[in-house]
Amino acid sequence: MTKKILILPGDGIGPEIVAEAEKVLQALRADFGLDVETEQALIGGAATDAEGTSLPEQTLALARQADAVLLGAVGGPRWDALERHLRPERGLLAIRAELGLFGNLRPAILYPQLADASALKPEVVAGLDILIVRELTGGIYFGEPRGIDTVDGVRRGYNTLVYSEPEVERIARLAFDIAGKRQGRVTSVDKANVLEVSELWRETVTRLAGDYPGITLEHMYVDNAAMQLVRAPKQFDVVVTGNMFGDILSDCAAMLTGSIGMLPSASLNESSQGLYEPVHGSAPDIAGQGKANPLATILSLAMLLRYSLGEGVLAERVEGAVGKVLDQGLGTPDIRRPGMREVGTTAMGDAVVAALGEAG
């Protein structure tokens, strides 16, 4: 049956990078028998401008019908001054919540061709392949009560960090299942020395580990995890953590690989419907200049093929093509090293399409 992909270009560099992933998708349909149809819709600031809301009903309805959603990026200074509910980020948080996308997979893989693009010494990051599994629909991002009010004439702002046992269980299971297909090691990151919510998190993850005899579980406080990520990142295989800790640690992990422009992500719900997006943002400073790196979006498309369409072989073909263009020494400005040839967004996308058909 024909699978449906909803494409949400979003803001800033979003439309440029998504266009390159669409070229790859088009080539997979034309030359490799992929049976998909695509539709486009608005999200983020682009939607706020056109419809007065960052997640229009129409977009959400299309997303619900789709097997997978491919998203560019949302946000930009133009919308920063708007009220919170009109901000582009609201649209992203709302679509995650509405589709129940609790499981956010953020792999940080160092391509050997980019070893010296990392801020860390090559030997510290060579061969790096870690996966951050971030809980995405709970925690402090969504906890109630939240707000800003005035008590005795003093303004205060507050949020609530809350996790229920079932929420911890499902994200932990996802991490354990995935670790079983990798090196079998899970590091659960929390702040159990201070927070009750982390105490419950830790107990729950420990209890579940009993169901996974093949997995080694370790616990780490978040401050130490941040330090260990830059000190000795290769000690990690799968890192599982809550929404806000995962937000912070995944940016940190991204930078180990040299450029956040290389990192894809998948956000999955319980029926393997998924939303796929690059980890980087909308980069308004370089939007429209044709120099954004489309590889994180193209690699997000590979994750989409693997996790939501069951097309693991095609996913590997796309990932292989990305490896080949790096072997050819092509690089957008964010990853270009001495000796590499600088290319723009569209040339990079074209090179990946050309490499798709090459053997090996």
d(CA 350, CA 59): 29
Verify whether residue 247 is a known catalytic residue. yes
- Considering only residues 88 to 117 of the shown chain, the ones binding ligand IPM according to CB under 6 A are 89, 92-93
Calculate ∠ Cα 97-100-102, nearest 5°: 95
Catalytic residue among 149, 223, 285, 327: 223
Residue 234 known to be catalytic: no
- Nearest-angstrom CA–CA distance, 135 and 355: 35
**How many residues sit close enough to Mg ion to count as binding (CB under 5 A)?**
1
Element (H or E) spanning 72, and its range? strand 68-73
The verdict on whether 191 is a catalytic residue reads yes
Gap between the Cα atoms of 68 and 342, Å rounded: 32
247 belongs to the binding site for Mg ion (CB under 5 A): yes
Return the amino acid letter for 131. L
Tell me whether strands 154-158 and 147-151 are parallel, antiparallel or unpaired.
antiparallel
Interface positions, 65-84, toward ligand IPM (CB under 6 A): 75
* 141 given a catalytic annotation: yes
Nearer to Mg ion, 23 or 134 (CB): 134
Nearest distance from C-beta of residue 300 to ligand IPM, angstroms: 12
Q: How many residues bind ligand IPM (CB under 6 A)?
A: 5
**Beta carbon of residue 32, minimum distance to Mg ion (angstroms, whole number):** 33
Picked from Mg ion, ligand IPM, none, the partner binding residue 45 (CB below 5 to 8 A depending on kind) is none
Query: Does residue 67 carry a catalytic annotation?
Result: no
What does the alpha-carbon distance between residue 15 and residue 52 come to, in Å, rounded to a whole number? 20
Nearest to ligand IPM of 97, 230 (CB atom): 97
Q: What is the secondary structure of 117-165 as a DSSP string? A: GSSS-HHHHTT-EEEEEEE-SSGGGT-SS-EEEEETTEEEEE------H
Q: How far is the CB of 265 from ligand IPM (least distance, A)?
A: 7
Residue nearest to Mg ion according to CB distances in the complex: 247
Task: Kindly state the DSSP code that residue 282 receives in the 8-state scheme.
Answer: -
* Residue 247 contacts ligand IPM per CB under 6 A: yes
Contact positions vs ligand IPM (CB under 6 A): 75, 89, 92-93, 247
Where in the sequence numbering do the catalytic residues fall?
141, 191, 223, 247, 251
Contact positions vs Mg ion (CB under 5 A): 247
